[in-house]
A and B are shown apart, each in its own frame.
Chain A
Amino acid sequence: MRRTQVLLTALLALAGSVLADNIKLQQVDRKISLNSQFVRISETVKVKNVGSSAVSEVILCESLGGDAVLSFYKVVETSSKHALAVSPTTVADAPAEVACYSVKLANPLPAGETVGLTVTAVLANAQMPYPAEITQTDTQLMLYKGNVYVLSPYSVSSQTTEVALPSSTVKSYTEEKPVSKVDNKIKYGKYDLVKPFAVKELSVHFENNKPFKHVLTYVKEIEVSHWGNIYVEGKYEIKNAGAKHTGSFSRLKYGHMYNGKANSFRDLRAVLPSSAHSMYYVDLIGNISTSNVRKSLASTVLDFDLRYPLMGGWKVDFTIGYSVPLAGFLTSTKGGQRRLTMDLSSPLEDVFIEDMVVRVVLPEGSANIKASLPYDMEQSFDIKYTYLDTTGRPVLVLHKQNIAAPEHAAKFSVDYDFNKVHILREPLLLVGVFFALFVAVIAYNRMEFTITRDEKWEAARSKEVLATYMEQIQALLEDEATVLAGLTRATNQVRDAADVDAAQREKANVEKRLKDLEEKVKPLLLAVESRSVRVAAQVRDVLEKTRSLQGRYYKQLADRIDLVKKGTGMSEVSRKLAPGQDALNAAKRELEGLTTTVFGAY
């Protein structure tokens, strides 16, 4: 067992050294751009396989000095422009502060062949302010420390390096011949036959008044509502990470300074989706009005100014939010899930984000939440309670550090299940609350709150019971009136002898129904009598008048039948019956008046 272990390690060591021998970098052209707060390195590498077998992996390295952070690293095959898979690795004899990556080639490189690779790397915090503190009127000088030669585990046959600076003011730079400075470019090269990991410090001390915009913390919250809106809110804490400001700050002098204003900055730009609306730019104090919005087909550009200009080392915090409609962001996938696609990083241009948290708040009832991200991030879950929530909304929390603005602008998507029924949770909650209020009213009306039951309470109770009976009697009287109206209609339809039988049948029907109603009234009347004799007398009066009115109706019908049987014409019939009809109507009105008087109080 031990012998195999020793053998394996020996083999690996051999493999390591073999790896370094069978690849040579024929030509490396490197461009280091110091033209902003980032150090952007672009290398075109020609890799030659000088070994005997095909090679599928190449190791490329970058030197990181001090606090530098490699926030972006991408390798592309020059001819096909295919991005290649890159994974961090360690190389045995690499010097300190070197980050190495193992690049997997698209096709294995046969012996004797060459392949061209293009490397893009973005370093943040690689420029040190030197001096570290400046006064208001000083210009900002930065110190960049790198390596003159391209650090590589392989030997490099020929290489050139070009350093691009923001201005032509350079205090000092490493003079390793051949070197030449033209305007704001320093050209190093060409160097032949450099050994692997040849270390020679490249140090450039130059003027860089570009703003060093660092976002210390950035929290982005995306809240999805299936009723038609996505809220996006970003909370920022921004710091000027350039040379620290020391001494006094004179607003007057600041206003009169030349256009550059050294390393201070106040303006920022955010590029938002084109359908963004309802934007707000606020901080703890309130709304900040120094902002401007331009809409175009491709995007919405928000130019905004901070509350005050940031000198070196100063910081400020604010919140920017907007809303977008669902169209273009929320789609349904083939598997029946819902997919939310949004921008992952900050919409701000040209910033370096030290700590970013993205919170995706999905509606209640979402399940099986999965995110597909363009780069590695820490994932966790949380719960948020907001409008009309019962169990809380699931929140997907993504966390990443050291993000450089333009390179990390990418979209991400979150897939989740959502049963359509869950969208009804909110309205049903509202319905439930209103219904509970009504039920409370119903319950209250059925409760008795008097403490002592004395005569006053008894009197009120008996009046209530009386009113109950009177209401019921009144309802029955109304039914009677309806029946009698039917009889009137039947009466008016008697035109000749043939209709008489129908009319007689109708009359018999009406008589029967009226009799039924009378039966129902009897017990009620007795009950009323037991409570109040006076009221009972009034009711009896009304019933008497009702009966006499019924008699008029019957007489009217009988008269009409007689006239029709005699064969009189219609106009004659109407004329003869008119006085009877008028008397009937008068009696009816009188009865209605009496009913209202007697029953109106109940």
Chain B
Amino acid sequence: MTELSISSPVSPSLYPTLATVLLGSGLCMTGSFFLYEVTKTKSNRALRSELLLAFISALLLGFGTLFLLLWVGVYV
């Protein structure tokens, strides 16, 4: 009759680290995305690399924001 206690998929002690790292790298990727947008001329742009940069930035920023919310105590 042992009932296992359920806990979060990520240990709450990791929330601050994860939030900082993910948001930091997310902002870097956002920066490189905007650099790409600004420097390349119209014909030289490739939709594939744009979308790839956008996707990676969105992923990092999204998860970073989630862990930031959890870190501050808004348990969503």
Contacts and interface: CB of A to CB of B under 8 A. Distances in A.
Chain A facing B: main interface SS: helix
A474 to B, nearest CB: 11
Interface stretch (A78-86, A425-433, A556-564): A425-433
Given A227-B75, A229-B75, A388-B76, A434 B37 contact: no
Nearest to B33: A438
Given A331-B6, A464-B41, A464-B42, A438 B66 contact: no
Interface string B12-52: 10000000000000000000011001000111110100110
A467 B41 contact: yes
Contacts of A228: 7-8, 12, 70, 75
Contacts of A333: 3
A332 interface: yes
A231 interface: yes
B11 to A, nearest CB: 9
Chain B facing A: main interface SS: helix
Given A229-B75, A387-B74, A426-B76, A445 B37 contact: yes
A227 B33 contact: no
Contacts of A180: none
Interface residues of B, number: 37
A227 B3 contact: no
A262 B63 CA distance: 59
B34 to A, nearest CB: 8
Contacts of B43: 465, 468
Q: Most B CB atoms within 10 A — which of A225, A332, A442?
A: A442
Contact of A226 (B8, B37, B47, B57): B8
A331 B63 CA distance: 26
Interface stretch (A59-67, A88-96, A202-210, A322-330): A322-330
B7 A331 contact: no
Given A431-B58, A439-B54, A331 B4 contact: yes
Interface string A381-423: 0000001100000000000000000000000000000001001
A590 B57 CA distance: 40
Contacts of B70: 227-228
B54 to A, nearest CB: 3
B65 A327 contact: no
Interface of A: 225-229, 231, 278, 323, 326-328, 330-333, 338-339, 387-388, 420, 423, 426-435, 437-439, 441-442, 445, 464-465, 467-468, 471-472
